Amino acid sequence: MQATYSEYDFNKSIERINEVLDNSDSSYEDVKSIPSRDTLTFGNGFYVGCSVLYVDIRGSTELTSKHTRPVLAKIYKTYISELVAVLKGHSKVNEIYIEGDAVWGVFDTPNKADVDELFSIGARVSSLVDILNIKYKKKGYSELKVGIGIADGSALLIKAGYKGSGINEVVWLGKVVAEAALLCSYGNKTYTDSEMMVSNIIYDNLNDANKKLLSKNYSRDCYHGEVINTVMDAWVQKNGKN
């Protein structure tokens, strides 16, 4: 978020610190579904059950050494914009974050059907990367390789920032975000690691058809697979994946 200059007053800073630290622990509720962000204040928070899908590029440092800045801009703009479009395709998407070349989303998944829908979003991500790579190859650009991590659990949802300044953001903290990022880091890391990595909890909540698309990765203690969207892949096959 854009910021403008304001003089720092450490006495005001101490007041803000005390205000937060003196809040009752009961201000942080356990909830099964993601609440509206309008219910968040600087004095409360929620422990929320949710799922996280995390996508990151493998070997992104090499891209910067191979391409000019305009080409890099084109690669990242198309990759990030269309990845966000795919993540927004989940009916219960709640938040999407962009951190460098990593894009991740938080999803409300109280029902097993929501988890299967999220798994299908992961498949769309994989096929989107295939489509992008066809386009990049035709331009003479480097092709992308990504990892996809999906995890389920609880996270602390808070409103963080500078009270009264208009500079604030919804922040998700907790194991589920870290686990999704870790699983993503395993994706396509070695020749024995598939592109998509899902946690054991995610796997247990998938329907039987989706479970059959994955296998156990014992070294990572998760399930993994090369999962694609069949409709998108038809375009990939027709337009030259290889």
Within-domain flag for 165: no
Within-domain flag for 214: yes
Q: Which amino acid is at 104?
A: W
Confidence of residue 123 (pLDDT cuts 50, 70, 90): very high
The count of domains in the chain is: 1
Strand residue runs (E) in 6-135: 28-31, 45-57, 93-99, 102-107
Tell me the two tokens of residue 174. 């907790």
Confidence of residue 21 (pLDDT cuts 50, 70, 90): confident
Within-domain flag for 33: no
pLDDT digits 0-9 by tens, 69-83: 899 999 999 999 999
Residues 6 or more apart from 142 whose CB is under 8 A from it? 62, 63, 66, 67, 75, 136
Domain that holds residue 76: 50-153+173-239
Confidence of residue 11 (pLDDT cuts 50, 70, 90): confident
Average pLDDT of the chain to the nearest whole number: 89
pLDDT at position 203: 98
Within-domain flag for 28: no
- Considering the entire predicted model, what is its pTM? 0.88
pLDDT at position 87: 97
Within-domain flag for 31: no
pLDDT at position 65: 81
Q: How far is CA 17 from the centre of its chain?
A: 30
Tell me the two tokens of residue 146. 């990504």
Q: Stretch 114-137: mean pLDDT, rounded? A: 96
Q: Stretch 116-128: mean pLDDT, rounded? A: 98
187 SS3 class: coil
Question: How many C-beta atoms surround the C-beta of residue 67 within 10 A?
Answer: 16
Within-domain flag for 77: yes
Q: What is d(CA 232, CA 129) in angstroms, rounded to the nearest whole number?
A: 10
Closest CA to 82 of 141, 146, 138, 34: 146
Of 9 and 176, which is predicted with more confidence?
176
Cα-based distances in Å from 153 to 33, 95, 122: 12, 16, 17
CA triple 160-101-98, angle to 5 deg: 30
pLDDT at position 3: 61
Element (H, E) at 222: strand 222-225
CATH number assigned to the domain comprising residue 186: 3.30.70.1230
Closest CA to 132 of 67, 76, 87: 76
> Tokens 């204040």 belong to which residue?
41
Q: What is the DSSP-derived secondary structure letter of residue 147? A: E
Within-domain flag for 30: no
pLDDT at position 30: 84
pLDDT digits 0-9 by tens, 87-121: 999 999 999 999 988 999 999 999 999 999 999 99
Within-domain flag for 26: no
